[in-house]
Amino acid sequence: MLRVVAPGVLCTVQDLGRSGYQRFGVPVGGAMDRVACAIANRLVGNLPTAACVEITGGGAVFEVVEPCVVAVTGADLGATLNGQPLPMWLSVYLTAGRRVAFEGRRSGARAYLALAGGVDAPLVLGSRSTYLPGGFGGLGGRGLQMDDVLRPVPGQAPRDLIRLAGCAWPVAVDYALLIRILPFHDPSDLRSADLTAHPWRVGASSNRIGLRLEGPPIQTSQSREVISFGVFPGVIQLPPDGQPILLMADAQPTGGYPVVAVVIQADLHRAAQALPGDELRFAWTTIAEATQAWRELQRLLALPVEEDDGTALAAASRG
Task: In whole angstroms, give the CA distance from residue 133 to residue 100.
Answer: 28
Q: Average pLDDT of 59-65?
A: 97
Based on the domain organization, do 165 and 310 belong to the same domain? yes
Least confident of 158-167, 210-219, 239-248, 268-277: 158-167
Residue 91 makes CB contacts below 8 A (sequence gap 6+) with 43, 44, 45, 69, 70, 71, 116, 164, 165, 166, 167, 168, 310
134 has pLDDT over 70: yes
310 has pLDDT over 60: no
Based on the domain organization, do 240 and 185 belong to the same domain? yes
In CATH, what number is assigned to the domain containing residue 225?
2.40.100.10
What is residue 222's predicted lDDT score, i.e. its pLDDT? 62
Q: Considering only residues 281 and 319, tell me which one the structure prediction assigns the higher pLDDT.
A: 281
What is residue 72's predicted lDDT score, i.e. its pLDDT? 98
Based on the domain organization, do 83 and 154 belong to the same domain? yes
Based on the domain organization, do 117 and 194 belong to the same domain? no
3 state SS of 289: helix
Task: In whole angstroms, give the CA distance from residue 21 to residue 212.
Answer: 25
What is residue 155's predicted lDDT score, i.e. its pLDDT? 86
Give 135's DSSP letter.
Answer: T
Q: Average pLDDT of 111-134?
A: 97
Rg (CA), the chain: 20
Please state the domain count of the chain: 2
Based on the domain organization, do 163 and 188 belong to the same domain? no
18 has pLDDT over 70: yes
Alpha-carbon distance values, 99 to 157, 198, 257 (Å): 20, 43, 46
What is residue 298's predicted lDDT score, i.e. its pLDDT? 96
Based on the domain organization, do 165 and 195 belong to the same domain? no
Based on the domain organization, do 197 and 273 belong to the same domain? yes
CB 1 within 8 A of CB 64: yes
Confidence of residue 271 (pLDDT cuts 50, 70, 90): very high
Based on the domain organization, do 296 and 309 belong to the same domain? no
Based on the domain organization, do 108 and 186 belong to the same domain? no
3 state SS of 22: helix
Based on the domain organization, do 6 and 110 belong to the same domain? yes
Identity of the amino acid at 285: T
319 has pLDDT over 60: no
The verdict on pTM exceeding 0.85 is yes
Based on the domain organization, do 48 and 144 belong to the same domain? yes
Q: Which domain holds residue 84?
A: 2-170+304-317
Based on the domain organization, do 28 and 155 belong to the same domain? yes
pLDDT tens figures, 175-216: 999 999 999 865 555 543 589 999 999 999 999 999 999 999
